[in-house]
Chain A
Amino acid sequence: MAKLELRGVGKAYGATVALRQGDLEIEAGEVHALIGANGSGKSTLCKIVAGSVRPDRGEVLIDGRAVTVRGPEATGALGIGIFYQELSLARHRTVAENISLPRLPRKGGIFVDRAAMAAIADRHIALFAGVAGAGFGADVPVERLRPDQAQLVEIMKTLASEAAILIFDEPTSALDRAQAERFFEILRERKRAGVGIIFISHRMDEIFAIADRVTVIRDGETVGTARIEDTDPTAVINLMVGRHEAASADAPPDTGGEDGRASQSAAQAVLAVRGFSGPGFRDIGFAVAPGEILGFGGLHGQGQSAVLRAIFGALPGASGEIRLNGDALQPTGPRATIARGCAYISGDRSRDGVIHERPILENVTPIHFLRNRLGLAHPARLRDKAAPALEALKTKFAGFGHPVSSLSGGNQQKVVIARWLIDRPAVILLDDPTKGIDLSAKADLFALIRDLADEGIGIVLYSSEDAELLANADRILVFNGGRVTRVLSGAERTRHNLYRAAYEAA
């Protein structure tokens, strides 16, 4: 009987299906790897087991008995421990406090048993003795630690649950070689002790080093499980790619003129970047030719967004050379780059785009105001400027005076995009622009982007959806660990090549 079993688990957020069909079986004493592309539903699956997301349907069984995980509080009693990819640490608390936080040892009813807490901390810190690095200790607040050290604390916290089922959602992303090796030794030990382990990683070599079985999840569906000795990385990637691969059908039809475009010299480029480094990326170089859509691909958070935000001037601490139409651009801040003709469209509308509760007209015109230094403006004339921009995107709205929050997510995003179209920019940076918008809005958006490219505007598109990228970008830079590891152009732009480059060890 399986230690943990998921049967037909599904979860949707409104119209967005995060997990369609999750079926998974974990045996006691097994490391079970879970692999899948961006947004395929791995983390949702884990959070359902951990109780922080409630499934819409399906069953979770532990030792053959159906259970309802009522919330993270209940996982302790059920014997489930989870490592959160985004970490669950209290930054100002010490390492020792964080390790024991879910189950602070008790003394005299209400007090923290500090001695017991220190003992737990020492025991778990000892597991990583010699590899944790300088400045690591039980009394150090987590905010003082390096990212890899914080990740070790989250690992220790998960191990300290002493649970019979452990889930690790990308536990090694910040660890160095020695730390990861040590972690794998500990996992093997736990495995021998009969613990069932779910292990999520994007590193193929790690999965083949530690896992007993691997399950592939694609588009919210678990599509296959194999014993590790019966499979190989190519087979796993093929399973991840699935039927999509049916040739490069999803590549843009026209590839004729594009090799010529790509080889144009940097002098003719709309946007040329050289030796660009900053927080989360190193030594990035590329050139966007007029009329070209340059794609950024790879796994989530490999530096793609950071590069775009840094060019736009919204992420301080970057250095390198940026040329816009041949002239040097200093990204000192969004105001400066907007004045030079940069446009930045973020998928995180509510944070970076929409001015909530304000009318649609005010949401379309702020860039027009800024670029023309308008102090006063005639509302009717503004409407005349805003209307064509909105129409170009087939935006559905009742009136300029309605608040932008009355629109659907897709139409809100169109409003945000429209504000850049009144005065044509030189370059448009798209940072995962289609997050949470429906298919028809996506189609409208990409049709418009292609038109803008044909007008000669340079376009950089980062998308976490590989299909979007393959269908719309003329060239794709694959990011891995903050660097561009591969450039795919022409017929090379296939899902297979994209995954292979993204999942290789950096």
Chain B
Amino acid sequence: MKGAPTAAAAGPAGLRQFLVRFPFLPALCILIVLLALNGIFEPRSLSFRSLTGIVSTYLALMMLAVAQTYVVYAGDIDLSVGAIVSLVNVAIVALLQQMGGGGLTVLAVLGIGLAVGLACGIVNGLVVAWLRLQAIVATFATSILFTGLALWIMPVAGTPAPAAVWRTYGGRILEIPFVFWAVAALALVLAILARTRLTTQLLAVGDDAVRAYQSGLPVTRIRIRGYALCGVFAALAAFCVTGDTASGDPLVGAKMTLSSVAAVVLGGCALSGGVGTVTGSVLAAVIIGLINSLVYFVGTPSEWQNLVQGLAIIVALMAGVLVTRWARS
């Protein structure tokens, strides 16, 4: 593999190739700009403490953006990721409430949570790839199904999670906050996944499903695996939500679904499939978090906050998309 240093030397053509090779670069630049802006308006926002805060709040969205990415790789979409987060959240909180909050019990319950996420993902995969329903409609339908299950498990929000969960999530290991260990673990897992056959196959299917089929790839199975992987990462996102909010809420994930889609696009993925990186999606999830905190630090009156947030996300999306389009032209 060739190294990085050619970008500046080779002029615009070199820069374009560089951008095509690393499609998450625009997201990275936006992230740096946002960090700088945060620092200008509120110097304390760049302190270790507040950065830890941002990561603990938005780790769930980072996980969920990763989940969405694997589905979008194959040209599909999953509008049920938020509902899976809710379902896993209430499932583990309810189980912990019944079984107590001991260390081993928590681990066992988290295992069950992963299984629930995986099952939801496989259901989505079967409905979309095997029954061949439109991904956008089918996963909207399953999202209602999953939300229904979550409401059946826990009709109202507010059941607290055991202390072991949120103390660990908000705590430190070897003087480093737990969430940073989690980010490191995520990076490692993503690096491993990027080297699997499944990632290459998902991208090939997203590139052109008919051609992938003609090449002899098991297209249906590959798409189902993409959804399964998505379900697992949605469950991980649910763990983060549980750790961050310390309670169960059957509707907690609903508003995260479209944020995950926005993060995936902002991170450089094409919704038509075949192009993108998980790195970009993770960075973009942090961008969405930083925009929210920036809007607060700038001192936007509360009634204007949504409007400004929306505008800022549009600007970020536009910048990213324009750069990507230029690079690919």
Q: Which of these, A73, A75, A104, contacts B200 with CB under 8 Å?
A: A104
Q: Which residues of B contact A82 (CB under 8 A)?
A: 214
Tell whether A287 is near chain B: CB-to-CB under 8 Å: no
Given contacts A102-B217, A111-B195, 15 further A-B contacts (CB under 8 A): A72-B215, A73-B217, A73-B218, A84-B211, A88-B215, A90-B207, A90-B274, A93-B207, A102-B216, A104-B201, A110-B198, A111-B197, A112-B196, A112-B197, A139-B2
Tell whether B42 is near chain A: CB-to-CB under 8 Å: no
The answer to whether residues A89 and B197 also contact, given A72-B216, A101-B204, A101-B217 and a CB cut-off of 8 A, is no
Residue contact A110 to B197, C-beta cutoff 8 Å: yes
Q: Which of these, B20, B196, B216, contacts A75 with CB under 8 Å?
A: B216
1/0 contact string of A85-114 vs chain B (CB within 8 Å): 001111111000100011110100011101
Q: Which residues of A contact B195 (CB under 8 A)?
A: 111-112, 114
Q: Which residues of B contact A111 (CB under 8 A)?
A: 195-197
Residue contact B207 to A106, C-beta cutoff 8 Å: no
Tell whether B186 is near chain A: CB-to-CB under 8 Å: no
Residue contact B207 to A92, C-beta cutoff 8 Å: yes
Q: Which of A297-347 contact B (CB under 8 A)?
A: none
Tell me how far the C-beta of A313 lies from the nearest C-beta in chain B, rounded to whole angstroms.
Answer: 22
Tell me how far the C-beta of B210 lies from the nearest C-beta in chain A, rounded to whole angstroms.
Answer: 8
Tell whether B213 is near chain A: CB-to-CB under 8 Å: yes
Residue contact B213 to A97, C-beta cutoff 8 Å: no
| Most chain B CB inside 10 Å of its own CB: which residue of A82, A104, A139 | A104
Kindly count the residue-residue contacts between A and B in the assembled complex, taking CB atoms under 8 Å apart: 71
Tell me how far the C-beta of B209 lies from the nearest C-beta in chain A, rounded to whole angstroms.
Answer: 10
Residue contact B211 to A88, C-beta cutoff 8 Å: yes
Tell whether A238 is near chain B: CB-to-CB under 8 Å: no
The answer to whether residues A97 and B217 also contact, given A90-B207, A90-B212, A92-B274 and a CB cut-off of 8 A, is no
State the majority secondary structure of interface residues on A.
Answer: mixed
| Most chain B CB inside 10 Å of its own CB: which residue of A75, A93, A111, A114 | A111
Q: Which residues of A contact B2 (CB under 8 A)?
A: 139
Residue contact B213 to A72, C-beta cutoff 8 Å: yes
Tell me how far the C-beta of A293 lies from the nearest C-beta in chain B, rounded to whole angstroms.
Answer: 36
Residue contact B203 to A73, C-beta cutoff 8 Å: no
| Most chain B CB inside 10 Å of its own CB: which residue of A92, A101, A110, A112 | A92
Query: A residues bordering B, Cβ < 8 Å?
Result: 50, 52, 71-73, 75-76, 82, 84, 87-93, 97, 101-104, 106, 110-112, 114, 139, 141, 157
Tell me how far the C-beta of A476 lies from the nearest C-beta in chain B, rounded to whole angstroms.
Answer: 34
The answer to whether residues A104 and B197 also contact, given A73-B217, A92-B274 and a CB cut-off of 8 A, is yes
Closest to A103 in B: B216
Subset of 8 A-B contacts with CB under 8 Å: A71-B213, A72-B213, A87-B211, A90-B207, A92-B275, A97-B204, A103-B216, A104-B201
Q: Which of these, A73, A89, A93, A114, contacts B216 with CB under 8 Å?
A: A73
Give Cα A157 to B20, complex, Å.
24
Tell whether B1 is near chain A: CB-to-CB under 8 Å: yes
Q: Which of B218-244 contact A (CB under 8 A)?
A: 218
Closest to A51 in B: B216
Q: Which residues of A contact B211 (CB under 8 A)?
A: 84, 87-90
Residue contact A92 to B203, C-beta cutoff 8 Å: yes
Give Cα A157 to B217, complex, Å.
13
Residue contact B214 to A72, C-beta cutoff 8 Å: yes
Give Cα A146 to B274, complex, Å.
20
The answer to whether residues A93 and B200 also contact, given A111-B195, A139-B1, A141-B20 and a CB cut-off of 8 A, is yes
Give Cα A73 to B216, complex, Å.
4
Give Cα A50 to B198, complex, Å.
24
Give Cα A157 to B2, complex, Å.
24
Q: Which residues of B contact A76 (CB under 8 A)?
A: 216
Closest to B198 in A: A110
Residue contact B204 to A90, C-beta cutoff 8 Å: yes
| Most chain B CB inside 10 Å of its own CB: which residue of A87, A97, A110, A141 | A110
Give Cα A76 to B218, complex, Å.
12
Q: Which residues of A contact B215 (CB under 8 A)?
A: 72, 88, 90, 101-102, 157
Q: Which residues of A contact B275 (CB under 8 A)?
A: 92
Residue contact A90 to B214, C-beta cutoff 8 Å: no
Give Cα A75 to B203, complex, Å.
22
Q: Which residues of B contact A84 (CB under 8 A)?
A: 211, 214
The answer to whether residues A91 and B207 also contact, given A97-B200, A112-B195 and a CB cut-off of 8 A, is yes
Residue contact A110 to B213, C-beta cutoff 8 Å: no
Closest to B1 in A: A139
Q: Which residues of B contact A97 (CB under 8 A)?
A: 200, 204
Closest to A81 in B: B216
1/0 contact string of B308-323 vs chain A (CB within 8 Å): 0000000000000000
Tell me how far the C-beta of A136 lies from the nearest C-beta in chain B, rounded to whole angstroms.
Answer: 15
| Most chain A CB inside 10 Å of its own CB: which residue of B1, B197, B218 | B197
Closest to B192 in A: A111
Q: Which residues of B contact A72 (CB under 8 A)?
A: 213-216
Instruction: Across the A-B interface, give the 6 residue pairs with the lowest CB-CB distance, nearest first.
Output: A90-B207, A102-B216, A90-B204, A72-B216, A88-B214, A88-B211
Residue contact B203 to A90, C-beta cutoff 8 Å: yes
Q: Which residues of A contact B212 (CB under 8 A)?
A: 88, 90, 101
Residue contact B214 to A52, C-beta cutoff 8 Å: yes
Q: Which residues of B contact A112 (CB under 8 A)?
A: 195-197, 200
Q: Which residues of A contact B203 (CB under 8 A)?
A: 90, 92-93
Give Cα A459 to B215, complex, Å.
42
Q: Which residues of B contact A73 (CB under 8 A)?
A: 216-218
Closest to A101 in B: B215
Tell me how far the C-beta of B290 lies from the nearest C-beta in chain A, rounded to whole angstroms.
Answer: 29
Q: Which residues of B contact A157 (CB under 8 A)?
A: 215
| Most chain B CB inside 10 Å of its own CB: which residue of A73, A103, A114 | A73
Tell me how far the C-beta of B215 lies from the nearest C-beta in chain A, rounded to whole angstroms.
Answer: 5
Q: Which of B21-68 contact A (CB under 8 A)?
A: none
Tell me how far the C-beta of A439 lies from the nearest C-beta in chain B, rounded to whole angstroms.
Answer: 30
Give Cα A111 to B198, complex, Å.
8
Q: Which residues of A contact B196 (CB under 8 A)?
A: 110-112
Give Cα A84 to B20, complex, Å.
27
Q: Which residues of A contact B217 (CB under 8 A)?
A: 73, 101-102
Closest to B218 in A: A73
Give Cα A97 to B203, complex, Å.
11
Tell me how far the C-beta of B20 lies from the nearest C-beta in chain A, rounded to whole angstroms.
Answer: 7
Q: Which of these, B20, B197, B204, B214, contacts A93 with CB under 8 Å?
A: B204
Closest to B17 in A: A144
Q: Which residues of B contact A93 (CB under 8 A)?
A: 200, 203-204, 207
Q: Which residues of A contact B213 (CB under 8 A)?
A: 52, 71-72
Closest to B273 in A: A92
Q: Which residues of B contact A87 (CB under 8 A)?
A: 211
Closest to A140 in B: B17
Q: Which of B162-219 contact A (CB under 8 A)?
A: 195-198, 200-201, 203-204, 207-208, 211-218
Give Cα A84 to B197, complex, Å.
23
Residue contact A50 to B204, C-beta cutoff 8 Å: no
Closest to A47 in B: B214
Give Cα A101 to B207, complex, Å.
12
Closest to A114 in B: B195
Give Cα A112 to B20, complex, Å.
22
